[in-house]
């Protein structure tokens, strides 16, 4: 037993957990914790962005890049309420951070003190975040802190990672007590589960019997750091790989067996392979509407005609949309190692077994390349979207990290970006919260200080969190923002154009009576914040501007004027019932 002040204990716990950063904003509720962070400032760096949402996205992105968690610290009431979006984004994409929120003193519970939420329950912040965290802990005595902290970090990092909240009444930071120190959690991926030997044998039987198999991978493969095993299995048996955005880079996407993303904004060979496959081995991936063409058979998948092996660490995802032929509750890397060992044991495979299947895929790839490749060469003003993707691909090294926001710019990257390494392409996939891309890049850069970190974000999305520039300058975080400026909430305007006869309302940015396209001068805005800023409206200028921004090693914004009237070709579909769904612009659906 040892006597400690609550705030001291929390700080020591963070250090023992190897948490190097706290991203947070002050408030009267957390001054006690801040005061202790002053004492440990050599071990834990406090970074205070200008909005709590940004702190959360930074923490989320930091984890996605490094697979090591950091914490946020927000005050009671409004400060913590600003965190909800970031928690939701992290939870939807199985990313982890420890959200330390402050609350009112326990002695004031239910008295309605300043910033208490108490209509139903005293100090009720945990109920605000309940749906968007894995768990919310609210210790009410210092003695309860060690257990709550250990459980919080273990919960956050075990099984399917997710954000966890620890809500701490004001007095706990100040008060001391005799406490027992708890052991740290062990960190991410320190607990892995495999599957039963019978299921491994059955999975391998199914894989070796299939004549048109595909692997479909998602964030689960990235999170379990199973890229090498995945690539080995794909190569060993010649199985093509489809990736959801958060799985991209687990197999080098320039590999012949990588077919890219599936769904409306996927690549044509991926949708063709998905809908013609006789076996899908889905690992750490969800069949959400966007990667399953809204579950309409024949567009992306053809279950139940196609057999399904579904592997996930979360039972709730197994069979959520398609009942699996074989469901496996396991960690992705452990399962892949089990499969590889079983294949090894069965002896050499028959070479060329899938040659017909691979020949079909090669044909689809040629057709897709012939359709899309010429557009990557076109120079124009405003710039064609393909050009921005191509120049980013040409300029950025393989280990650069990009973060995308929500919007049509993201669709282009889902369809055409070739991630070469895992944990290099950050997407707000499940919740698609605008602000993630522009804010997350700050956390990414702190996680990977020696690698270029570039956010490609919409003009709308950037305008939601423009103060990221101040934080970059204040803390000298040399992130680069490529603002994809199409003077509109283009992703949504495109829905109005496609489904509402172009009756545009509330989706474009204009000024004056003659409705001139309007946006702030983003480059000047960056310069006003003390960052560098340039505007690029001719495609010839973008590549050089990006090279320069990366070399500058300073916070840098490039305002790129992109043509809103060039839309990504749909190769699957996406339905918003009861509205009719659009047919793919390229390729036909298929019914076996
Ligand atoms: C916080 C938030 N508000 C609203 C939406 C709905 N939404 C999705 S995409 C989009 C438009 C994005 O516009 P912009 O950032 O300019 O990107 P673009 O589509 O033009 O590339 C909107 C409003 C969202 N995903 N998140
Ligand atoms: Mg836009």
If phi over 0 gives left and psi between -120 and 50 gives alpha, with beta otherwise, what is residue 18? Answer: left
Residue with CA at minimum distance from ligand 1 atom 13: 489
Q: What is the pLDDT of residues 302-320, one digit of tens each?
A: 999 999 999 999 999 999 9
221-262 per-position pLDDT tens digit:
999 999 999 999 999 999 999 999 999 999 999 999 999 999
d(CA 51, CA 67): 24
User: What atom of ligand 1 comes closest to residue 462's alpha carbon?
Assistant: 15
* Phi/psi at 294 (5° precision): 55, 30
Q: pLDDT value at position 581?
A: 84
Report CA Rg, the chain: 25
Of 458, 464, 505, the one to substitute when testing ligand 1's pocket (max ligand atoms within 8 A of C-beta) is 458
pLDDT digits (tens, 9 = 90+) for 483-534: 999 999 999 999 999 999 999 999 999 999 999 999 999 999 999 999 999 9
Split at pLDDT 50, 70, 90, the class of 352 is: confident
Residue 181 confidence (pLDDT) above 90: no
pLDDT of the residue at 42 = 98
Q: Is 530 helix (H, G, I), strand (E, B) or coil?
A: coil
- Within 6 Å (CB) of ligand 1, which residues are found? 405-409, 432-434, 458-461, 484, 486, 488-492
Q: How far is the CA of 15 from the centre of ligand 2 (A)?
A: 41
Residue 241, token pair as written in the block: 């790989």
Considering every ligand atom shown, identify the ligand nearest to the alpha carbon of residue 409 and give its number: 1
Q: List helix spans (H) across 430-557.
A: 436-447, 459-464, 468-474, 490-499, 522-528, 539-552
Q: Which atom of ligand 1 is nearest to the CA of 457?
A: 15
| Helix (H), strand (E) counts: the chain | 22, 22
pLDDT reported for residue 349: 74
Which ligand sits closest to the CA of 92? 1
Answer whether residue 350 shows pLDDT above 80.
Answer: no
DSSP of 415-457, one letter per residue? HH----STT-EE---SS--TTHHHHHHHHHHHHSTTS-EEEEE
The closest-lying atom of ligand 1 relative to the alpha carbon of residue 484 is 21
Tokens of 502: 């172009």
Q: Determine the distance separating the centroid of ligand 2 and the alpha carbon of 408, expressed in angstroms.
A: 7
**Beta-bridge mates of residue 483:** 457, 559
Report pLDDT digits (tens) over 363-417: 999 999 999 999 999 999 999 999 999 999 999 999 999 999 999 999 999 999 9
Q: Is 157 left (phi over 0), alpha (psi -120 to 50) or beta?
A: alpha
Provide the pLDDT confidence category of residue 321 given band limits of 50, 70 and 90.
very high
DSSP 8-state symbol, 113: -
Average pLDDT, the chain: 97
Calculate how far, in angstroms, residue 290's C-alpha sits from the geometric centre of ligand 2: 20
- Whether the pLDDT of residue 585 is over 90: the answer is no
**Which-ligand-closest: CA of 430?**
1
Question: For residue 324, how many C-alpha atoms fall within 13 Å in the half-sphere facing its CB?
Answer: 25
Counting residues of the chain whose pLDDT is more than 70, the rounded percentage is: 100
pLDDT score at 589: 84
**CA 446 to ligand 2 center in whole angstroms:** 27
pTM score, two decimals? 0.98
């Amino acid at each position: 037993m040892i006597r400690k002040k609550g705030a001291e204990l929390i700080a020591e716990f963070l250090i023992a957990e190897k948490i190097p950063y706290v991203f947070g904003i002050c408030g009267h509720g957390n001054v006690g914790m801040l005061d202790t962070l002053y004492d440990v400032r050599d071990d834990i760096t406090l970074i205070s962005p200008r909005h709590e949402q940004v702190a959360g996205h930074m923490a989320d992105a930091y984890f996605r890049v490094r697979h090591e968690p950091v914490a946020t610290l927000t005050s009671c009431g409004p400060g913590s309420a600003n965190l909800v979006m970031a928690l939701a984004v992290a939870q939807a994409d199985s990313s982890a951070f420890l959200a330390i929120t402050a609350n009112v003193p326990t002695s004031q519970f239910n008295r309605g003190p300043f910033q208490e939420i108490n209509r139903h329950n005293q100090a009720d912040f945990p109920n605000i975040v309940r749906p968007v965290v894995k768990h919310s802990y609210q210790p009410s005595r210092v003695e309860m802190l060690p257990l709550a902290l250990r459980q919080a970090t273990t919960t956050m990092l075990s099984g399917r990672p997710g954000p966890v909240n620890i809500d701490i009444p004001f007095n706990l930071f100040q008060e001391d007590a005799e406490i027992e120190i708890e052991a740290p959690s062990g960190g991410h991926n320190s607990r892995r589960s495999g599957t039963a030997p019978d299921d491994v044998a059955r999975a391998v039987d199914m894989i070796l019997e299939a004549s048109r198999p595909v692997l479909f991978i998602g964030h689960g493969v990235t999170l379990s750091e199973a890229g090498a095993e995945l690539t080995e299995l794909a190569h060993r048996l010649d199985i093509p790989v489809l990736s959801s955005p958060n799985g991209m880079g687990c197999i080098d996407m320039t590999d012949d067996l990588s077919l890219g993303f599936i769904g409306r904004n996927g690549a044509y060979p991926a949708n063709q392979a998905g809908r013609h496959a006789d076996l899908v081995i889905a690992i750490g991936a969800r069949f959400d509407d966007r990667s399953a063409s809204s579950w309409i058979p024949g567009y992306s998948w053809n279950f139940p005609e196609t057999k399904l092996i579904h592997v996930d660490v979360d039972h709730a995802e197994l069979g959520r949309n398609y009942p699996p032929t074989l469901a496996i509750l396991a960690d992705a890397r452990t399962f892949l190692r089990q499969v590889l060992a079983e294949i090894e044991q069965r002896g050499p495979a028959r070479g060329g077994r899938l040659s017909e299947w691979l020949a079909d895929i090669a044909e689809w790839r040629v057709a897709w390349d012939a359709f899309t490749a010429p557009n990557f060469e076109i120079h124009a003003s405003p710039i064609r979207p393909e050009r921005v993707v191509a120049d980013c691909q040409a300029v950025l090294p393989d280990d650069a990290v990009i973060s995308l926001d929500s919007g049509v710019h993201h669709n282009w990257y889902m369809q055409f970006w070739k991630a070469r390494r895992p944990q290099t392409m950050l997407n707000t996939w499940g919740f698609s919260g605008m602000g993630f891309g522009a804010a997350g890049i700050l956390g990414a850069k702190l996680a990977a200080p020696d690698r270029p970190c570039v956010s490609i974000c919409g003009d709308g999305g950037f305008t939601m969190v423009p103060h990221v520039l101040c934080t970059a300058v204040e803390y000298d975080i040399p992130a680069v923002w490529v603002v994809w400026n199409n003077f509109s909430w283009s992703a949504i305007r495109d829905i109005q154009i496609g489904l509402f006869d172009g009756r545009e309302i509330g989706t474009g940015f204009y000024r004056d009576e003659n409705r001139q396209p309007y946006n702030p001068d983003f480059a000047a805005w960056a310069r006003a914040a003390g960052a560098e800023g340039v505007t690029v409206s001719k495609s010839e200028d973008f590549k050089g501007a990006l090279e320069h921004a990366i070399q500058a090693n300073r916070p840098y914004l490039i305002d790129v004027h992109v043509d809103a009237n060039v839309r990504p070709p749909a190769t699957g579909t996406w339905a918003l019932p009861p509205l009719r769904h659009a047919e793919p612009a390229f390729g036909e659906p298929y019914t076996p």
